[in-house]
Structure 1
Amino acid sequence: MPHLAATRAALLRAADLARPNPACALLVGAGSVHDLPLAQLMDRFERIVLLDIAFGVEARRMTKRWPKRLHLCRHDVTGIVDWLARHRRLPPAEMLIRPVLPLLEIKPDWVASVNCLTQLPLLPLNYLADKVSDESALETFGRTLIQGHLRWLQAWRAPICLISEVEDRHFDRHGVLADSSDYRDLLQGFTAGAACVGRWPWQIHPPGELADGRHETRIVEAWCV
């Protein structure tokens, strides 16, 4: 898939541009590992920590293959999933602005957030949809989760690679743009002065896959911060 290949290439460009110390890399959103060039990254780093809230079979298989080089860290980067399950309402604001970092054996020298930034609010928002009637409060909550992840990344005080969709484009059956969502305003402060190391379209739903012939494309950008 072109999106996966572009993601892998951007990660390698970002690592080469940042030239971090080679002791440890932290890859966030690594549950499936399909978009990670792990073999090439192991040429650049002595230790790689894969972080996600859950891991697939391939991630577990690879860490068994390289037990001294690859390590799994199960962690909820939003810090709110367990709280939501108990309280079933919007969490207090202080929970959303305080980064909660996992305890790692070695502090990472390079941190990459891979294709997960705009996905973080989706499950919490779906869970709260029938419990919170204030749509503006839910929208603010989703934006705050995204901004909270950016602060979480900065809290490591290490070079960062951010790979994320920055725009969703929805087209009708005739290929006419029906609507779009732009997330660039949420990234302005974070990417100011940063180097863009990749930009590509990701056709997540090609023509014929959605009802009425609609299709959806996401614009993805990669940044070295």
Structure 2
Amino acid sequence: MLAELRVHAASRRDTPPRFRPYLAEAVRYWSTRLRQSRAWAPHLANARGLIDTGIDDFPVRRTVVVLGAGPLFELPLESLARTFARVVLVDRAHLSAIRPRLARYGNIERQWRDLSPATSVDPLAFLAGIADLDWVISANLLGSMALAAPAGQHRQVIEDHLAALAALPCPATLITDLDYRVFNRHGVVLDSADLMHGRFMPRSGLRWKWEAAPFGADQRHTRRVHSVAAWPDWREADFG
């Protein structure tokens, strides 16, 4: 708890006032990752590996933008910073805990933005103003945006974000959790949720499981497992 309070206080100092209400949620997510490092390791390795491998597809490496950069858990930040001339990290909250990683490089910048279509007509319009944009990465952002959307807008938030990625003039990598299931110690499913809210997602993407909450994290005798999918370039996703 003391570590969380320190990170929150240090982050608040350089967070624009309108984004400070989002710090508490961001700190909770950061703290959960520290407690569940072993359970989360395979998921994070898959996400980082996908992005790391994707770097090789770019003969020209000028600017990469990461949507939902958060505490950088899913990002091979060092690889991106070494290979791209400019790395732009976009999120509603940028915690002080990431500062040591950012300080090693002079080509990384943070932008505070609310990327939800529920709060803006075109939340990705700012990308058109970023010079030499070669790559956009949506990093485990979609499900959380839908979850936070006003009642009745969950599906539309998903549709709008996916449509915006598909319309980009550069490759758009998408990593997202699709659903989750809660199991008891006998393997019986006690609860489940479709995080895409009925939106069909193509089978062409990479798939893996993420044990987001092992036994004892949410409740003593349950574990929550998310299904994750990723597409190196959402614009080329095969819906067949």
Q: What is the TM-score when the length of structure 2 is the normalising length?
A: 0.70
5+ long unaligned stretches in structure 1: 84-94, 126-137
Asked if 1 retains the 8 angstrom alpha-carbon contact of 2:118 and 2:153, the reply is no
Structure 1 residue 5 corresponds to structure 2 residue 45: yes
SS, match of residue 78 in structure 1: coil
Asked if 2 retains the 8 angstrom alpha-carbon contact of 1:33 and 1:58, the reply is no
Q: Distance in 2 between matches of 1:185 and 1:29?
A: 22
SS, match of residue 21 in structure 1: coil
Q: Distance in 2 between matches of 1:184 and 1:142?
A: 7
SS, match of residue 71 in structure 2: coil
Deviation for aligned residue 1:58: 3.4
Q: Distance in 2 between matches of 1:14 and 1:158?
A: 13
| CA deviation vs aligned residue, 1:67-118 (integer Å, no higher than 9, x gap) | 2x1111111111544x8xxxxxxxxxxx3xx454226442421111111110
1:188-203 → structure 2 map (5 Å cutoff) = 188=201, 191=202, 196=205, 198-203=206-211
> Structure 2 vs 1, CA of residues 166 and 121 (structure 1 numbering), >3 Å: closer, same or farther?
closer
Give the alignment partner of residue 162 of structure 2, picking from 150, 157, 173: 150
1:30-109 → structure 2 map (5 Å cutoff) = 30-67=69-106, 69-81=107-119, 95=121, 98-102=122-126, 104-109=129-134
Q: Distance in 1 between matches of 2:126 and 2:220?
A: 45
> Structure 2 vs 1, CA of residues 122 and 36 (structure 1 numbering), >3 Å: closer, same or farther?
same
> Structure 2 vs 1, CA of residues 58 and 203 (structure 1 numbering), >3 Å: closer, same or farther?
same
Q: Percent identity?
A: 30
Aligned twin of 1:207: 215
> Structure 2 vs 1, CA of residues 62 and 105 (structure 1 numbering), >3 Å: closer, same or farther?
farther
> Structure 2 vs 1, CA of residues 154 and 215 (structure 1 numbering), >3 Å: closer, same or farther?
same
The letter of the residue matching 1:117 is L
Deviation for aligned residue 1:34: 2.1
Q: Distance in 1 between matches of 2:198 and 2:146?
A: 17
Q: Distance in 2 between matches of 1:60 and 1:148?
A: 32
Aligned twin of 1:135: none
Deviation for aligned residue 1:202: 0.7
Structure 1 residue 166 corresponds to structure 2 residue 182: no
Name the structure, 1 or 2, with higher relative contact order (CA <8 Å, separation 6+): 1
Q: Distance in 2 between matches of 1:29 and 1:59?
A: 14
Asked if 1 retains the 8 angstrom alpha-carbon contact of 2:149 and 2:157, the reply is no
Q: Distance in 1 between matches of 2:95 and 2:123?
A: 25
Q: Distance in 2 between matches of 1:209 and 1:54?
A: 24
Asked if 1 retains the 8 angstrom alpha-carbon contact of 2:63 and 2:88, the reply is yes
- Aligned-residue Cα RMSD (Å) equals 2.5
Asked if 2 retains the 8 angstrom alpha-carbon contact of 1:62 and 1:70, the reply is no
Q: Distance in 1 between matches of 2:229 and 2:124?
A: 26
Q: What is the TM-score when the length of structure 1 is the normalising length?
A: 0.74
The letter of the residue matching 2:180 is D
